[in-house]
């Protein structure tokens, strides 16, 4: 990191903002960035750049906070900026390629021509981007940034979680995209690759990687003994991701959709029984775990189950 640190020290601007100012500038830029894309999308009834706008906004905030923040190009801000940039570019390009293949995003069939409903999505995207990038904004703004990245538990675990989460998310995304392109996929659910061990491996990867980013930032906070409110603000990032995917627009909607489509298929119900909702586990292991363990530690909650699984089973026609 020393060579990169010297480069950035010699090429960065003279602007140096503390983390309160960095948060303010980042919030303002996020609003402007998303509203700009919203105006184009609504005026042209065009949703091909919707997710791209969200993904690239992460990159914009990471770079902005790095170059204007009070970080003196230390190794920790540089590492966090690079991690977020890698994830952002990967996700944004993947989502752009996917929507170009699909042609349109069915999520917006009932909202793309309704100003207020469509705007609500973009406001939610603003909140998502700003909240999830809080650890890198805080570190780049001077909170715990001088603690060098090293061989300590928080850094090692954090970087490992990010790397594993990124690989899992990318693998799951690409596997499912390849599956959906296949003619044999019609009327079926994906069980290839990581989808054989988890019903939502992409979400498992995303939650893991943002907890990893938080742990890397946390090491800097601990070493420099920053104020307690910094810890709380930074922790909002992985908590927000987990809550959103577990209880909000992630798993509940997808599980409900799958239950409606395949709820009378005994093969699907068997897949549900032996496949972990999110944490990847071998099917043979998961299927034989106690129900109590599944419901307490592995997120197998009633909110994801078919409304009447017994009725679904009885409705399956005999072979």
Share of the chain above pLDDT 70, in %: 89
Amino acid 2: pLDDT:
47
Amino acid 106: pLDDT:
74
Q: What is the spatial distance between Cα 235 and Cα 210, in angstroms, rounded to a whole number?
A: 10
Q: What is the pLDDT of residues 184-222, one digit of tens each?
A: 778 889 999 999 999 999 999 999 999 999 999 999 888
pLDDT class of 296 with cuts at 50, 70, 90: very high
Distances from the Cα of 7 to the Cα of 2, 78, 148, 150, 258, angstroms: 9, 11, 17, 20, 50
Q: What is the spatial distance between Cα 183 and Cα 113, in angstroms, rounded to a whole number?
A: 32
pLDDT at 252 over 70: yes
Amino acid 91: pLDDT:
95
pLDDT: which is higher, 148 or 132: 132
What angle is formed at CA 71 by the lines to CA 65 and CA 74, rounded to 5 degrees? 115
Q: What is the pLDDT of residues 91-114, one digit of tens each?
A: 999 999 988 887 777 777 777 778
pLDDT class of 139 with cuts at 50, 70, 90: very high
Q: What mean pLDDT do residues 159-178 have?
A: 97
Amino acid 158: pLDDT:
96
What predicted TM-score, i.e. pTM, was given to this entire model?
A: 0.89
Which of 4-18, 22-36, 50-64, 281-295 has the weakest average pLDDT?
Answer: 4-18
Which of 74-78, 93-97, 107-111, 270-274 has the weakest average pLDDT?
Answer: 107-111
Amino acid 169: pLDDT:
98
Q: What mean pLDDT do residues 287-308 have?
A: 91
Q: Which burial class, exposed, middle or buried, applies to 232 when counting CB atoms under 10 A from its CB (0-12, 13-18, 19+)?
A: exposed
pLDDT class of 15 with cuts at 50, 70, 90: low
């Amino acid at each position: 990191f020393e060579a990169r640190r010297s480069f950035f020290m010699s090429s960065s601007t003279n602007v140096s903002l503390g983390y309160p100012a960095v948060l303010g500038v980042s919030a303002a830029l996020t609003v402007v960035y998303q509203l700009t894309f919203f105006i184009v999308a609504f005026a042209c009834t065009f949703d091909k750049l919707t997710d791209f706008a969200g993904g690239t906004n992460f990159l914009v905030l990471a770079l902005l906070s790095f170059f204007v923040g009070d970080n003196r190009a230390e190794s920790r801000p540089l590492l966090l900026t690079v991690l977020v940039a890698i994830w952002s570019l990967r996700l944004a390009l993947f989502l752009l390629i996917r929507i170009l293949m699909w042609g349109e995003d069915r999520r917006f069939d009932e909202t793309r021509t309704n100003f207020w409903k469509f705007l609500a999505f973009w406001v939610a995207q603003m909140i998502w981007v700003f909240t999830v990038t809080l650890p890198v904004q805080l570190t780049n703004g001077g909170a715990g940034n001088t603690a060098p990245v090293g061989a300590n538990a928080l850094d090692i675990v954090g970087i490992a979680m990010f790397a594993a989460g990124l690989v899992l998310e990318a693998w799951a995304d690409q596997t499912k995209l390849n599956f959906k392109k296949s003619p044999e996929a019609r009327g079926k659910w994906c069980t290839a690759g990581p989808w054989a061990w988890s019903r939502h491996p992409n979400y498992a990867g995303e939650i893991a990687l943002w907890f990893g980013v938080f742990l890397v930032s946390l090491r800097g906070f601990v070493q420099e003994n920053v104020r307690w409110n910094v810890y709380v603000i930074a922790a909002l990032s992985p908590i927000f991701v987990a809550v959103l995917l577990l209880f909000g627009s992630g798993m509940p909607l997808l599980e409900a959709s799958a239950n409606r489509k395949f709820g009378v298929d005994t093969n699907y119900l068997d897949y549900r029984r032996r496949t972990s909702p999110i944490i990847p586990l071998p099917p043979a292991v998961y299927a034989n775990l106690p129900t109590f363990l599944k419901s307490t530690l592995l997120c197998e909650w009633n909110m994801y189950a078919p409304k009447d699984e017994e009725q679904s089973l009885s409705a399956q026609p005999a072979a």
